[in-house]
């Protein structure tokens, strides 16, 4: 019933009638299988309730290769696919045409400890294969910016870069856990969120079409500058200097001496500064007073009724 409350609150917040709410997707829910080859009733119950009201269900089998799935990428992805298809068929039986997203969350475990690992080469391959499967079924698919680091450090960055490149190269439609993940999802980090935003912006920039116009080839500028000079003062450079390249908001490109003299601030410290600045300048989005009152009345009523049951 908790998802019924969530759907009702979304409907109220959007100022919709029930028919308008069901006419097109307004929200999504995510379910995970209990691998291997099982879906728990609470997950299925919530998914079917969402499907009945025309809302999106992201079906994400949690297939950890070597633990809850075979110790090969192909075996784990095959099991992921089977668990997804089982839920897909059920949801279509509940409501034909119910919107469903192909959820991909296959990774592997550390064979020395059994701990989940993310941002691994196996995760990259699983995401790329998942993208091909989703396109085979003509469905949008979900990936994640996952990592297993415990601190917003170098490990967190390289595992996230691996994950982001995997979902980008797999043409992912929806990035879950896009920013802020640490410790395999067991905690969130404001600093990591800011660092992830920088990485996500760079990957988005990288995937934009490359300018191959005559002006981009800059043959006239090359002739103008000639041998042994520089392009800082060239007319071509002056026209483009404001937006010629990606401009990072977090990276520090100064040399070591300048960086050290200005306080030698590490990346996670700069991210903390940016985070605090964003929070200090944040203005809560406006909400219609009548809608706000209706939401509060709904929450008060549901609390008085005891809320949704949890004894599944």
Give the separation between CA 28 and CA 312, rounded to whole angstroms. Answer: 22
Give the separation between CA 148 and CA 156, rounded to whole angstroms. Answer: 7
Tens of pLDDT, residue by residue over 113-166, are 999 999 999 999 999 999 999 999 999 999 999 999 999 999 999 999 999 999
Q: Side by side, which strands form the sheet with 107-109?
A: 64-65, 107-109, 116-117
Give the separation between CA 54 and CA 11, rounded to whole angstroms. Answer: 12
Task: Report yes or no on 160 lying in a domain.
Answer: yes
Tens of pLDDT, residue by residue over 161-188, are 999 999 999 999 999 999 999 999 999 9
- Per the structure, the complete domain to which residue 99 belongs is given by 2-208+287-304
Task: Report yes or no on 233 lying in a domain.
Answer: no
Task: Report yes or no on 299 lying in a domain.
Answer: yes
Task: Report yes or no on 227 lying in a domain.
Answer: no
Task: Report yes or no on 256 lying in a domain.
Answer: no
Tens of pLDDT, residue by residue over 244-257, are 999 999 999 999 99
Give the separation between CA 262 and CA 276, rounded to whole angstroms. Answer: 19
User: In CATH, what number is assigned to the domain containing residue 49?
Assistant: 3.20.20.480
Which run of H or of E encompasses 131?
A: helix 121-136
Query: Into how many domains does the chain fold?
Result: 1
DSSP characters for 175-201?
EET-S-EEGGGTEE-HHHHHHHHHHHH
Task: Report yes or no on 213 lying in a domain.
Answer: no
Task: Report yes or no on 271 lying in a domain.
Answer: no
Does 1 have pLDDT greater than 90?
no
Which run of H or of E encompasses 59?
A: strand 56-59
Is 0.95 topped by the overall pTM?
no
Q: What is residue 312's predicted lDDT score, i.e. its pLDDT?
A: 60
Q: Side by side, which strands form the sheet with 100-103?
A: 28-31, 56-59, 100-103, 141-144, 174-176
Burial classification of residue 52, based on how many CB atoms lie within 10 Å of its CB (0-12 exposed, 13-18 middle, 19 or more buried):
middle
Tell me the CA distances in angstroms from 241 to 80, 161, 201, 231, 309, one per residue in order.
48, 28, 20, 11, 60
Phi, psi of 62 (to 5 degrees): -100, 80
Task: Report yes or no on 310 lying in a domain.
Answer: no
């Amino acid at each position: 019933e908790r998802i019924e409350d969530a759907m009702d609150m979304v409907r109220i917040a959007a100022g919709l009638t029930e028919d308008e709410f069901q006419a097109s997707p307004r929200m999504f829910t995510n379910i995970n299988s209990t691998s291997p080859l099982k879906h728990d009733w609470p997950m299925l119950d919530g998914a079917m309730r969402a499907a009945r009201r025309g809302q999106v269900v992201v079906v994400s089998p949690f297939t950890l290769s070597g633990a809850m799935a075979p110790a090969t990428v192909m075996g784990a992805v095959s099991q992921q696919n089977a668990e997804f298809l089982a839920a897909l068929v059920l949801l279509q039986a509940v409501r034909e045409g119910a919107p469903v997203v192909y959820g991909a969350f296959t990774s592997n475990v550390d064979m020395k400890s059994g701990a989940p690992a993310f941002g691994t080469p196996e995760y990259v391959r699983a995401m790329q294969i998942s993208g091909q499967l989703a396109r085979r079924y003509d469905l949008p698919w979900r990936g994640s910016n996952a990592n297993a680091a415990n601190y917003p450090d170098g490990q967190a960055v390289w595992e996230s870069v691996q994950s982001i490149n995997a979902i980008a190269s797999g043409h992912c439609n929806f990035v879950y856990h896009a920013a802020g993940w640490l410790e395999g999802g067991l905690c969130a980090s404001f600093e990591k969120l800011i660092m992830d935003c920088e990485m996500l912006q760079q990957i988005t920039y990288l995937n934009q079409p490359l300018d191959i116009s005559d002006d981009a080839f800059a043959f006239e500028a090359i002739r103008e500058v000639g041998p042994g000079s520089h392009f800082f003062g060239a007319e071509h450079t002056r026209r483009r200097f404001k937006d010629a390249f990606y401009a990072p908001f977090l990276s520090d490109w100064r040399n070591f001496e300048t960086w050290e003299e200005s306080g030698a601030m590490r990346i996670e410290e700069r991210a903390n500064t940016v985070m605090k600045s964003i929070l200090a300048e944040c203005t809560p989005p406006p909400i219609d007073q009548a809608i706000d009152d209706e939401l509060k009345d709904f929450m008060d009523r549901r609390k008085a009724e005891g809320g949704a049951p949890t004894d599944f």
